């Protein structure tokens, strides 16, 4: 079985996959999709995955090595991130994992299963369904989501919080629009500026929701604007050493008073 093939390394001694290695692995994964082309879009995805992988390595430095972790990949798409994590990153970190990918597109899930079969990765599983209500394993240690569209990010975060997932790494994608509240604050009637402020407000509400649920949260630029304009990652760990959940809940309530759409 795949899990038995892992080499175990002590934490902190791993050499992280280089950009070149991730690109080569992404090409191998693309070939396992049974598609010959590896173009600009695939290259961009590989670079995002490389940068995301660095954040996984940082976030999981204290994760247990004595048992396999269960990882949720929310809105996994073709799961390039999870395949690279499984074949390249996690073995170098000395981590074993069962990875569960979820996407509402049945077609993408079929593709993921084909790739896993072609790569001989029998400990990865993929389920078609919405993050809001798809059945999930009873215990999840790590949840990651790269560019889950619109409110899929919110569904993902809500599921992770409800499941008490210890490590959460989330890069939001396109945002649902905020319409109300800007006039009261005196913001200019510029769609572009309001969209930017709206993005920041929505991610702030997500940040505070995690803090209010007992997570220590960081908002980091994970990739650099030249790789993706959707560059913000919320990296969170459920721990007793986070900021006050009550204070976060109070801040969130103030934000929702000003921008009621953030209360959805
Ligand atoms: C921009 S793609 C990102 C895919 C992948 N994470 C990646 O980085 O390549 C967004 C994915 O979210 C999925 N999606 C959107 N809403 C969803 C939901 N509510 N539940 C599950 N998947 C969803 C779409 O089917 C699509 O595959």
Q: What is the pLDDT of residues 56-95, one digit of tens each?
A: 999 999 999 999 999 999 999 999 999 999 999 999 999 9
Residue 166 maps to a domain: yes
Total domains in the chain come to 1
Torsion-angle region of residue 129: left (phi > 0), alpha (psi -120 to 50) or beta? left
pLDDT score at 13: 56
Residue 131 maps to a domain: yes
Residue 196 maps to a domain: no
pLDDT at 235 over 90: yes
- For residue 158, give the CATH number of its domain: 3.40.50.150
Predicted model pTM: 0.93
Residue 5 maps to a domain: no
Residue percentage of the chain with pLDDT more than 90: 77
Residue from 33, 56, 73, 75 to probe ligand 1 pocket by mutation (most atoms less than 8 Å from CB): 75
- Express the helix, strand and coil content of the chain in percent, nearest 5 each: 45, 15, 35
Residue 185 maps to a domain: no
* Residue-range definition of the domain harbouring residue 128: 16-175+214-237
pLDDT at 220 over 50: yes
Residue 52 maps to a domain: yes
In sequence order, which residues have a C-beta less than 8 Å from that of residue 203 and are 6 or more positions away?
172, 219, 232, 234
- How many CA atoms does the CB half-sphere of 187 hold within 13 Å? 20
* pLDDT: which is higher, 170 or 264: 170
Q: Could you identify the atom of ligand 1 that is nearest to the CA of residue 130?
A: 20
pLDDT score at 242: 82
* pLDDT: which is higher, 230 or 136: 136
pLDDT score at 2: 37
Contact between 190 and 112 (Cβ < 8 Å): no
Contact between 25 and 17 (Cβ < 8 Å): yes
The per-residue pLDDT for range 91-127, each reduced to its tens digit, is 999 999 999 999 999 999 999 999 999 999 988 999 9
Protein residues whose CB sits closer than 6 Å to any atom of ligand 1: 45, 75-78, 80, 102-105, 108, 130-131, 146-149, 152, 155, 173
Query: Residue 57 Cα, ligand 1 centroid: separation in angstroms?
Result: 23
pLDDT score at 227: 85
The per-residue pLDDT for range 154-213, each reduced to its tens digit, is 999 999 999 999 999 999 987 777 878 888 888 999 988 998 899 999 999 999 999 999
Residue from 103, 106, 229 to probe ligand 1 pocket by mutation (most atoms less than 8 Å from CB): 103
Residue 62 maps to a domain: yes
Residue 220 maps to a domain: yes
């Amino acid at each position: 079985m795949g899990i038995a093939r892992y080499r175990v390394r002590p934490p902190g001694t791993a050499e992280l996959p280089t950009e070149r290695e991730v690109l080569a692995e992404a090409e191998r994964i693309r070939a396992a999709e049974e598609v010959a082309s590896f173009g600009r879009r695939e290259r961009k995805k590989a670079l995002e995955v490389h940068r995301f992988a660095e954040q996984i390595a940082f976030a999981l430095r204290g994760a247990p090595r004595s048992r396999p972790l269960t990882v949720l990949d929310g809105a996994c798409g073709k799961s390039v991130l999870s395949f690279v994590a499984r074949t390249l990153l996690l073995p170098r970190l000395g981590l074993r994992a069962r990875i569960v990918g979820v996407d509402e597109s049945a077609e993408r899930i079929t593709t993921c299963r084909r790739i896993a079969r072609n790569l001989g990765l029998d400990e990865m599983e993929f389920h078609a369904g919405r993050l809001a209500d798809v059945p999930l394993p009873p215990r999840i240690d790590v949840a990651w989501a790269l560019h889950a569209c619109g409110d899929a990010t919110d569904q993902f975060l809500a599921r992770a919080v409800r499941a008490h997932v210890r490590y959460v790494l989330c890069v939001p994608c396109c945002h649902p629009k905020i319409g109300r509240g800007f006039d009261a604050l005196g913001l200019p009637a510029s769609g572009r500026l309001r969209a930017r402020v709206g993005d920041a407000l929505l991610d702030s509400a997500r940040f505070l929701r995690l803090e209010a649920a007992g997570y220590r949260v960081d908002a980091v630029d994970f990739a650099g604007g030249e790789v993706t304009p959707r560059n913000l990652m919320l990296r969170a760990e459920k721990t007793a050493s986070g900021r006050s959940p009550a204070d976060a809940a109070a801040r969130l309530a103030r934000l929702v008073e000003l921008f009621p759409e953030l209360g959805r």
